[in-house]
Amino acid sequence: MTPLPRDDEGPRRGLGLATISVILSLVWALVPSPTQAQIPPVDGYYLHAVAGSEASPLSGSGVVDVQRLRLTARPAWGSARFNVAWETTLTLRSDDLALGRGFEGRRPAAPWLDLQGRLVDQRRVGWVHGLDRLNVALQPWERTRITLGRQSISWATTLYFTPADPFVPFDPADPFREYRAGVDAVRGVVFTGAFSELDAVVRPAPAPAGGESWTALLRGQTLLGGWEVSAWGGALHDEAAGALATSGSVGEMGIRGEGSLRRAEGETVVRAAAGVDRLFQLLERDFRAVVEVQYDEFGAVRPDRLLDSALSDAAARGELSVLGQEALVANATWQVHPLRSVSLLSLVNLRDGSTLLSPGLTWSLADEVSLRLGAFAGLGPGARGLELRSEHGATPFIGFAALSAFF
């Protein structure tokens, strides 16, 4: 399973008065004073999930109850657009149980600004909160937008494995993917045409060994012959890096691919993923299938290297979606009724053959309310003591029910 952040990990740099003064001064200088500020209503999201896990070689059985509340506001001041999102998660456990897969309190990716904290940190009760978005977007010129602060940034092309996204890859098996974690950065986008743009990002982040690292990347994207093509390059966590990506269609089949080359600890690391997806009609209902494969030299080549992968700098920065070097994901979703859909996700480590299966049922109870029933089951050699013999084999059976609502 994807490694969980340690309790002692967290933001290492605060948002000091000097930083706040610089941001406010820049906004004040670039934005004309409006006659009236626009204060929109607050949007909300609520999740209540209950999960139970059987015992495994690495942990005992137990039950966890997760309640997550997210409030978002987007006020405006002249031509400046602000985005503020506060999120809090209360976790109740029957024992010292950590399930991962979206059941823990979510943290920003390698946060540089100190915008989150723990209200309760006990063996069976955890309560965390923080600002997942805190940014201002300015438009000093007609085709230019500058965004400062904690924001959502994604340069991914593939759907599940996103090794060429230098910011926040998703866990492919996370059942709660409504929001992407925020990134502390300065971003500038220039729209050079109807289907093309230049995107520059400068991002500081805490380094796993202490201190901080810097990312400065430039990305170009355009449309060529019906295919979307993009490339980025620059410095990623103080090391040289570059990537290419494309997406398009052949007939009714969507095709996506992305790959990157980067330097890390004196070596060149290759990371790539490719996939196909298609929408069918099965018994007059939508049936969508997605298959993707990934090759990632940050991953482990043998089961005895999985722990090294979990404790690597790449994992500490939140760059890994799986621990193995070669992986496959297949997901099928069928709308069996206008209000109900069923799904089956398979996540396979192609090196050791272990598989994580996750069936699910989603039921729309109202326009903005849904109920999801799901499970996880690992197939393959289990652990021997604290030694992993496969990536997914030690995953116990986990069943869950989750109610989500937007308001």
Per-residue pLDDT of 119-140, as tens digits, reads 998 888 999 999 999 999 999 9
Hey, what's the torsion of the CAs at 292, 183, 405, 395, to 10 degrees? 50
| Average pLDDT over every residue of 194-219 | 93
* DSSP sequence for 350-377: TTT--EEEEEEEEEEEETTEEEEEEEEE
**Of 101, 100, 129, 147, nearest to 10 (Cα)?**
129
| Average pLDDT over every residue of 18-43 | 54
Non-local CB neighbours of 21 within 8 Å, separated by 6+ positions? none
| Average pLDDT over every residue of 305-315 | 91
pTM for this entry: 0.86
CA–CA distances in Å: residue 273 to residues 38, 65, 134, 392: 43, 35, 31, 20
Question: Are 247 and 235 contacting, i.e. CB atoms less than 8 angstroms apart?
Answer: no
* 391 vs 327: CA distance, rounded Å: 10
Residue 156 has pLDDT above 70, yes or no: yes
At 313, which helix (H) or strand (E)?
helix 313-316
Most confident among 27-36, 119-128, 213-222 (mean pLDDT): 213-222
| Average pLDDT over every residue of 249-263 | 96
CA angle at 1 for the pair 94 and 180, rounded to the nearest 5°: 90
* 199 vs 221: CA distance, rounded Å: 8
pLDDT confidence of residue 3: 36
Residue 29 has pLDDT above 90, yes or no: no
* 32 vs 253: CA distance, rounded Å: 48
pLDDT confidence of residue 37: 54
| Average pLDDT over every residue of 206-223 | 93
Of the chain, the percentage scoring pLDDT greater than 70 comes to 88
DSSP collapsed to 3 states, 17-62: HHHHHHHHHHHHHHCCCCCCCECCCCEEEEEEEEEEECCECCECCE
- State how beta strands 227-236 and 239-250 pair: antiparallel
Average pLDDT, the chain: 88
Which residue do the tokens 């500058």 mark?
A: 146
- Exposed e or buried b per residue across 311-331, where buried means at least 16 C-beta atoms within 10 angstroms of its C-beta: ebebbbbbbbbbbbbbbbbbb
| Average pLDDT over every residue of 314-334 | 94
Ordered by where they begin, the domains of the chain are: 17-406 (2.40.160.10)
Poorest-pLDDT segment among 16-20, 40-44, 393-397: 16-20
* Residue-wise pLDDT tens digits, 386-402: 788 999 998 989 999 99
Of the chain, the percentage scoring pLDDT greater than 90 comes to 70
